[in-house]
């Protein structure tokens, strides 16, 4: 039992530590704006207390128990309204600025931390968690935590002022009021955790919904081609129903909190009023009619924290929960450790007895040996599932859980810093992401490069014709929908060339292109001199393969043959069969 308590205590301490930098971003260089909103809350609270005091004195004037004149009370009333006006001016100037700046800084900090993730760490995660964190969860944090801070401060300050007046007027009646207050306090404490749990459940369901929706939109063409619309619509409906169910539960819980708080607060208010009236009628405790009336007014401010703070507590807890979930995910990173190597390849890449499995007991690669000389161009060919793309992924340091060796100029990849590796290698993949920006911005990836270097990359990648036709400021559309597949691939090649990495990996880059476009893209890659190129291709085009330094034919995760195109064709082995079938 003690061990469980200690573990929970340590877990809570770890969660607080993970959340701390995220919460700091809400207030970084934002404390002056927050302070001004607190001053506004203080002025509004003081004005409310002054008005309550005036109600008591006016009531006592009517009954003949007040020592103030109407003129004096009107002057004090004017001062109270002046404080309210000043609070309004301060809120108008600083409240929106505080909230907007807090959320902007938070989003930028989260995105910055996300960009620090390594490829290894990010590739094993569900990206919908981050999409939800920067959309649904941000709204929750702003609405239920940041947006409620000033109100909570104002309610607290008004509560303190109300308690001071109540004690000043009647310690006995104040004590009785506190006794009545236990009921709403207990109700709030009991229901607060339920509200926080309901909010977290909504966040989790929305995260799943976002991930599912992203998958559907990404795979829209596949859904249509397989006529799976009805099945996908059923899956969507189920996920949507789960969100609706959790939302309904949250609404019901919040209603329970709201009504239970209102009922218990009403019991408090009327209970105190009846006791005050009884004391006033009996003449006990020096309570006047004005005192009885002002206690009812002041009880509104005593009740407010009981009504507001459970919701604020639930919202804060829910916000901390989603921040904690995000902080934990962003904390799972593989540090950029290892030797920093120069961005050059002088000898080549050696793969020795390489083995790898995504799942234990199910090998994807076994005993793979390859020698890739610097400056050469090599093609990996084979059927689907033969391990071609897995080899490229491992060469990009996607995992260190492999057997055997991967050597760059004799340096084992496991000992190399991933950050410095990415200065050495670039990869062109089948699915090229193109931003909804200009051709030039997509080539440069929004960085500055000398114009002559951009022109060189455009020329070598074969983008000149596109730019001549549409101009470098042509907007590519969402995910490049204003471009053809070949044009998107040429942008990808230009990106890699602009980085000037001496090693270029090409992973099924022409899989979705027609034969003519595919040849044009691969031809542009083969014409690159001074680059070490490794091409994974399904397209067994003789005009392309003959120009490669060497070919590696893979089957079931093993290299079955290696050599030039002519050598492999002369052997009439596995590659010969693959090539012959592809030409049929």
- Write out pLDDT tens, residues 234-286: 888 888 888 888 888 888 877 777 777 677 767 777 777 777 777 777 766 66
Task: Determine the 3-state secondary structure of 348 from DSSP.
Answer: strand
Give me the chain's average pLDDT, please: 84
Using CA atoms, how far residue 477 sits from 436, 487, 502, in Å, is 5, 13, 30
Q: Is 426 left (phi over 0), alpha (psi -120 to 50) or beta?
A: beta
Could you read off the pLDDT of 335-369 as tens digits, one per residue?
667 888 888 999 999 999 999 998 888 899 999 99
Bridge partner list, 352 = 405
Residue 105 to residue 110: CA distance in whole angstroms: 9
Domain boundaries of the chain, sorted by first residue: 9-331, 348-583
Contact by Cβ (8 Å): 351, 391 = yes
Which one, of 387, 574, 426, 398, lies nearest residue 509 by Cα? 426
pTM for the whole structure: 0.67
Neighbours of 379 (CB within 10 A): 25
As a whole number of angstroms, the distance between CA 68 and CA 515 comes to 97
Q: What homologous superfamily does CATH list for 348-583? A: P-loop containing nucleotide triphosphate hydrolases (3.40.50.300)
Q: Tell me if 368 sits within 8 A of 354, measured CB to CB.
A: yes
Digit-by-digit pLDDT tens for the chain (584 residues) are: 566 777 778 878 888 888 999 999 999 999 999 999 999 999 999 998 998 888 888 877 776 666 778 888 889 889 999 999 999 999 999 999 999 999 999 999 998 888 877 766 676 667 778 888 888 888 889 988 999 999 989 999 998 998 888 888 888 888 877 777 776 666 666 666 677 677 778 877 887 787 777 777 766 665 665 567 787 788 888 888 888 888 888 888 777 777 776 777 677 777 777 777 777 777 666 677 777 778 777 877 877 776 677 778 878 888 888 898 888 888 876 666 788 888 899 999 999 999 999 888 889 999 999 999 999 999 999 988 899 989 998 998 888 889 999 999 999 999 998 888 888 998 888 777 788 888 898 888 888 888 988 888 888 888 888 898 999 899 888 778 888 888 888 888 888 888 888 999 988 877 766 777 778 878 888 888 888 999 998 778 898 899 999 999 999 999 999 999 999 999 999 999 999 988 86
Is-contact 294 55, C-beta < 8 A?
Answer: yes
Phi, psi of 65 (to 5 degrees): -105, 0
Q: Which two tokens stand for residue 473?
A: 């400021």
Tell me how far apart the alpha carbons of residues 296 and 273 are, in angstroms, rounded to a whole number. 6
113 token code pair: 């931390």
Fold exhibited by the domain 9-331: ABC transporter transmembrane region fold (1.20.1560)
- Counting Cα atoms < 13 Å in the Cβ hemisphere of 2 gives 0
| DSSP string across 375-386 | T-EEEEEESTTS
| Distance, CA of 513 to CA of 522 (rounded, Å) | 11
Residue 281 vs residues 95, 180, 275, 299, 569: alpha-carbon distances, Å: 46, 21, 10, 20, 113
Please name the helix (run of DSSP H) or strand (run of DSSP E) that holds residue 520, with its range, or none. helix 515-526
Tokens of 394: 């491992």
Pairing of strands 558-563, 550-555: antiparallel
Q: Region of 188 please: left (phi>0), alpha (psi -120 to 50) or beta.
A: alpha
Helices within 170-288 (DSSP H only): 171-218, 220-225, 229-282
Give residue 21's pLDDT: 92
CA-to-CA distance for 139 and 144, rounded, in angstroms?
A: 8
Q: Report the relative pairing of strands 377-382 and 348-359 from DSSP bridges.
A: unpaired
Alpha-carbon gap, residue 390 to 329, rounded angstroms = 25
Q: CA 360 → CA 301, 357, 364, 536, distances in Å? A: 63, 6, 10, 25
């Amino acid at each position: 039992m003690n061990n469980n308590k200690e573990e929970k205590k340590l877990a809570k301490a770890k969660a607080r530590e993970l959340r701390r930098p995220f919460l700091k971003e809400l207030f970084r260089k934002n404390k002056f704006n927050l302070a001004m909103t607190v001053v506004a809350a203080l002025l509004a609270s003081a004005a409310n207390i002054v008005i309550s005091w005036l109600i008591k004195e006016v009531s006592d004037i009517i009954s003949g128990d007040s020592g103030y004149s109407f003129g004096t009370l009107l002057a004090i009333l004017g001062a109270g309204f002046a404080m309210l006006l000043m609070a309004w001016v301060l809120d108008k100037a600083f409240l929106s600025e505080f909230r907007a700046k807090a959320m902007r800084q938070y989003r930028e900090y989260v995105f910055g931390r996300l960009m620090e993730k390594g490829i290894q760490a990010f590739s094993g995660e569900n990206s919908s968690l981050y999409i939800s964190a920067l959309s649904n969860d941000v709204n929750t944090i702003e609405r239920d935590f940041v947006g409620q801070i000033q109100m909570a401060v104002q309610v607290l300050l008004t509560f303190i002022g109300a308690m001071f007046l109540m004690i000043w007027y009647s310690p006995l009646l104040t004590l009785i009021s506190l006794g009545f207050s236990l009921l709403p306090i207990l109700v709030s404490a009991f229901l607060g955790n339920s509200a926080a749990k309901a909010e977290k459940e909504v966040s989790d369901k929305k995260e799943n919904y976002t991930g599912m929706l992203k998958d559907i939109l990404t795979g829209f063409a596949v859904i249509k081609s397989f006529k799976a619309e009805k099945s996908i619509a059923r899956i969507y409906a189920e996920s949507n129903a789960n969100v609706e169910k959790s939302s309904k539960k949250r609404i019901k819980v919040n209603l329970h909190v709201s009504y239970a708080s209102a009922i218990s607060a009403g019991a408090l208010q009327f209970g105190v009023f009846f006791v005050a009236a009884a004391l006033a009628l009996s003449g006990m405790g020096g309570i006047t009619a004005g005192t009885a009336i002002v206690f009812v007014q002041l009880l509104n401010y005593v009740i407010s924290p009981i009504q507001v703070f459970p919701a604020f507590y639930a919202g804060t807890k829910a916000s901390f929960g989603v921040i904690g979930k995000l902080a934990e995910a962003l904390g799972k990173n593989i540090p950029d450790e290892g030797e920093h190597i120069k961005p050059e390849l002088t000898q080549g890449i050696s793969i020795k007895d390489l083995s790898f499995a995504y799942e234990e007991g199910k090998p994807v690669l076994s005993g793979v040996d390859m020698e890739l000389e610097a400056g050469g161009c090599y093609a990996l060919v084979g059927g689907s599932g033969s391990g071609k793309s897995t080899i490229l992924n491992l060469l990009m340091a996607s995992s260190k859980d492999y057997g055997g060796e991967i050597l760059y100029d004799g340096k084992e990849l496991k000992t190399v810093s991933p950050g410095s590796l990415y200065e050495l290698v670039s990869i062109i993949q089948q699915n090229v992401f193109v931003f909804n920006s200009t051709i030039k911005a997509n080539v440069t990836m929004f960085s500055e490069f000398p114009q002559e270097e951009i022109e060189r990359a455009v020329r070598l990648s074969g983008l000149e014709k596109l730019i001549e036709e549409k101009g470098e400021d042509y907007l590519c559309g969402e995910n490049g929908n204003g471009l053809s597949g070949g044009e998107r691939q040429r942008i990808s090649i230009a990106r890699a060339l602009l980085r000037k990495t001496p090693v270029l990996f090409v992973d099924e880059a022409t899989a979705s292109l027609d034969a003519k476009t595919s040849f044009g893209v691969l031809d542009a890659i083969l014409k690159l001199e001074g680059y070490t190129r490794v091409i994974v291709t399904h397209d067994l085009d003789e005009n392309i393969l003959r120009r490669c330094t060497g070919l590696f034919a893979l089957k079931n995760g093993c290299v079955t043959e290696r050599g030039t195109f002519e050598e492999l064709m002369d052997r009439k082995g596995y590659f010969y069969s693959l090539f012959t079938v592809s030409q049929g």
